[in-house]
Amino acid sequence: MTRDARGLGGAWTRFQRHEFPSPSPDLARFVARFWVVTWDYDEPYRQLVVPYPKVHLTFRDGDAVVNGVSSGHRIKVLEGRSRVFGVEFRPGGFRPFLGAPVSAIMDREIDAREVFGAVPSRIDVESVEEFLRERLPEADPRADEAADIVAFIAARPEIARVDLLAKQWGTSVRGLQRLFAEYVGIGPKWVIRRYRLHEVTERLAKGAEIDWASLAVELGYADQAHFARDFKEMFGEPPTRYAERY
């Protein structure tokens, strides 16, 4: 299958622009960052969207939706000239707004009005921050704990199994699973796998030469085949094919 050249070798930067404003300090307990993507395509482009353990509130063309954590990659078709504004919540940070287990919206897109009751009339950082402040819930220490555990996973590449994570955190595997279902929206095993594979894409983005067999062992896989299978399931294509994007 012929690949779209606009998705290879970093060519997307000629067609898209990304901005990532930081939230104000009073919102940083809930919001990781804001993001703005603008694009201009003469022909439709199939954008690969890779998953992270975070909930997003997105605004586009007058619509506002909440995207739960996705368990796998998605494809978004971008065409013409347009813009999306998004709110990326910290892991655990959306649970106080939702008032229900975040796993209930995994792999789902729901109307933002179901959660917030309304949507802001203007879509920029200042207006969306004020919108969130008017609906700011009570802080939840369990949400903070969930965010801390996800950050711990991201920072500790040697954590490759849930039982090791539970031991490090002084809790049980079952306790972690309950916390993640309630606050993160997907299980700890998935989050560990996601951040180990994230290290692969980080190296590719820096232009590193990859020894795939050695890397598979380094990331805790029994062999390269298991690593490649997990990578394709998460990103939609084998690691060597994905590497062509850089």
Is 0.85 surpassed by the pTM of this model?
Answer: yes
User: Of 133, 162, 183, which residue sits at a domain end?
Assistant: 133
User: Of 95, 112, 133, which residue sits at a domain end?
Assistant: 133
Report how far residue 230's alpha carbon sits from residue 239's, in angstroms, rounded to the nearest whole number: 10
Residues 150, 169 contacting (CB under 8 angstroms): no
Q: Which ranges constitute the DSSP H helices of 55-208?
A: 95-98, 113-116, 125-133, 141-155, 162-169, 173-179, 188-205
- CATH number at 192 reads 1.10.10.60
Strand partners, 110: 66
* 105 shares its domain with 165: no
Residue that the structure tokens 């439709």 belong to: 44
Task: Supply 146's token pair.
Answer: 């969930």
Number of domains in the chain: 2
* 18 shares its domain with 108: yes
* 112 shares its domain with 10: yes
* 129 shares its domain with 150: no
* 124 shares its domain with 205: no
User: Of 133, 161, 192, which residue sits at a domain end?
Assistant: 133
* 150 shares its domain with 220: yes
Each residue's pLDDT expressed in tens, for the chain with a length of 246 residues: 578 899 888 888 899 999 999 999 999 999 999 999 999 999 999 999 999 999 999 999 889 999 999 999 999 999 999 999 999 999 999 999 999 999 999 999 999 999 999 999 899 999 999 999 999 999 899 999 999 999 999 999 889 899 999 999 999 999 999 999 999 999 999 999 999 988 888 888 888 888 888 888 888 888 899 999 999 999 889 888 888 888
* 129 shares its domain with 147: no
* 19 shares its domain with 76: yes
Q: Which domain holds residue 189?
A: 141-243
* 63 shares its domain with 33: yes
